[in-house]
């Protein structure tokens, strides 16, 4: 299970470290694509198959979702230091220049621009009562 958040900086080649605990789950290769929010989503190959299977179930009226996720998708191998190179088109989508946060979300990672992540968390804090209601509905 992928959980937690870790702050890193991209190096001059656009590489970012994948935290060791995440590498153990993901393996040596990942699939990166545009996130639905301004972030990059990272999947293990096995999880990506599940995403692809779900996309195949969409109707032709929902083809924009398929294009959005698949057109930006890239297979990436981790290097010996556990880093991945984030493609320019994905960095641009997420507004990533240097400081990032790598977030574990059970079956995928998200990589956010640090400032955008902080802004997102501040907005989430303001929504605490609504979040509490959703959690209560889940009975957790």
Residue 133 is predicted with a pLDDT of 73
CATH of the domain at 97: 3.40.1550.20
Per-residue model confidence (pLDDT) at position 140: 61
Whether residue 137 is predicted with pLDDT greater than 90 in this model: the reply is no
pLDDT category at 43 given cuts 50, 70, 90 is: very high
Check pLDDT > 90 for residue 128: no
Task: Spell out the SS3 assignment of the chain.
Answer: CEEEEEEEECCCCCEEECCHHHHHHHCCEEEEEECCCCCEEEECHHHHHHHHHHHHCCCHHHHHHHHHHHHCCEEEECCCCCEEECCHHHHHHHCCCCEEEEEEEECCEEEEEHHHHHHHHHHHHHCHHHHHHHHHHHCC
What is the predicted pLDDT for the residue at 139? 65
Confidence of residue 62 (pLDDT cuts 50, 70, 90): confident
Averaged pLDDT for residues 98-127: 95
Total structural domains within the chain: 1
Q: What is the pLDDT of residue 93?
A: 97
- pTM for this one? 0.90
Quote the pLDDT of residue 58.
84
Average pLDDT, the chain: 93
Domain that holds residue 24: 2-138
Point out the least confidently predicted range of 28-37, 56-65, 90-99, 125-134.
125-134
pLDDT of residue 138: 63
Task: Express as a percent the part of the chain with pLDDT over 70.
Answer: 95
């Amino acid at each position: 299970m992928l959980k937690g958040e870790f702050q890193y900086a991209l190096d001059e080649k656009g590489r970012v470290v994948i935290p060791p605990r995440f590498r153990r789950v993901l393996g040596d290769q990942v699939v990166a694509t545009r996130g639905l929010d301004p972030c990059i989503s990272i999947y293990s190959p096995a999880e990506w198959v599940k995403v692809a299977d779900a996309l195949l179930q969409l109707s032709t009226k929902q083809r924009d979702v398929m294009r959005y996720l698949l057109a930006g998708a890239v297979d990436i191998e981790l290097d010996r230091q556990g880093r991945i190179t984030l493609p320019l088109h994905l960095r641009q989508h997420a507004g990533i220049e240097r400081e990032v946060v790598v977030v574990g979300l059970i079956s995928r990672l998200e990589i956010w621009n640090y400032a955008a992540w902080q802004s997102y968390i501040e907005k989430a804090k303001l929504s605490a009562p609504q979040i509490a209601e959703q959690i209560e509905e889940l009975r957790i």
